[in-house]
Amino acid sequence: MLKELPVPFPFEKGLRVIVDTDCNCECDDQYAVAHFLMTPKLDIKGIIAAHYGEVNSEQDSYDEIVKVTELMGLKGEVNILHGAPEALADEHTPIENEGARFIIEEAMKDDPRPLFVCHQGAVTNIACAYLMEPKIADRLTVIWIGGGAYPHGGREFNQNNDLNAARILFKSKLKLWQVPMNVYTTMRFSFAEILTRIYPCGEIGRYLYENTMVKGKKIMNGIRAIVSERARQSKAEDGSGSPGFMQMDTTDVDVFCNAESWSLGDSPCVGLLHNPSIGKWHMASAPCDLLPDGSYDLSRPGSRQIRIYDEIDARFILDDMCAKFKYYFGD
């Protein structure tokens, strides 16, 4: 159990939250999970493991959630659930899983506090829950870290790990706050800050720093290979040499992949629950469909409205997280 605050946060003013995370995919989910659990306003009802397109990835995410909670001294105190092991085969057939069933169960409870389901990866589990029980649409809000920049969209990791689930979400009646890639990638956190502000904070701080430095390097090497190959293919096809991936040329890729920072792209979920106004947003018609490459089909304007974030106050979110690490785990 985390230590108590000098003045407890009023229970009746809190929010119910279900976190859905591909926690072992890279390095940012773990920070967000810890931040969720350190935020008194949030009553974390459960954390659901999400797949990320690889064999056994859902189980790997589950195991990573367990590790993070144990390093925080919360072994056995957090409700951790299994999600769907893979992407949906179509837009009509849900994959039965305990995470989706739990979303339905929590949504249908008679509790006056708002319920938010925060997705930090593919939206498979909320899509399954909606297909299984459409009535949840009136009883919760989805925050999703995913999708490409508007108006075009395009390939984006979380979205493309389950395009059918993303199609279901956009076409559903679920209230949606979307934080697209051009916004969540602004959550830059330098290695120096991780070393000086996170590393000193107990076992969880040391793990987050070491995991970021080791796994982050592997991920950057993978990105370098992908971008270089796409640049080669583009040049072969049209002679332009444009990679068409994050609009990078060779020099950009070298600088990006050797950066002394990481993007904590999942943390806007926590920040928006802290205060929805810490980012600028607009209401717009949801895409009426997604093309096979993940591009938005906006050919039928006037479909249901969703909230799309255009900017986020990254520094507020990161400073809040660091302050909580220091309070709960600092010397």
The pTM is what? 0.89
Whether the per-residue pLDDT at 1 is higher than 60: the answer is: yes
Q: What is the pLDDT of residues 22-75, one digit of tens each?
A: 999 988 999 999 999 999 999 999 999 999 989 999 999 999 999 999 999 999
The total of other beta-carbon atoms located within 10 Å of residue 255's CB is: 10
Helix (H, G, I), strand (E, B) or coil at 211: helix
Task: Please tell me the distance from the alpha carbon of residue 71 to that of residue 202, in angstroms, as a whole number.
Answer: 8
Q: Which of 19-33, 165-179, 227-241 has the lowest mean pLDDT?
A: 227-241
- Highest mean pLDDT range out of 26-30, 91-95, 188-192, 232-236? 91-95
Which comes out higher in pLDDT, residue 235 or 175? Answer: 175
Give the per-residue pLDDT at 12.
84
Quick one: pLDDT band at residue 238, thresholds 50, 70, 90? low
Domain segments of the chain: what residues? 15-187+264-329, 190-257
- Output the pLDDT for position 216: 61
Q: How far apart are CA 297 and CA 331, in angstroms?
A: 52
Show Cβ contacts of residue 9 under 8 Å, excluding neighbours closer than 6 positions.
Answer: 40, 41
- CATH superfamily, domain at 15-187+264-329: Ribonucleoside hydrolase-like (3.90.245.10)
Alpha-carbon dihedral angle through residues 113, 184, 262, 28, given to the nearest 10 degrees: 40
- Position 233 confidence tier, pLDDT thresholds 50, 70, 90: low
pLDDT band at 242 (very low <50, low <70, confident <90, very high): very low
Tell me the CB-side half-sphere exposure of residue 71, using CA atoms within 13 A: 20
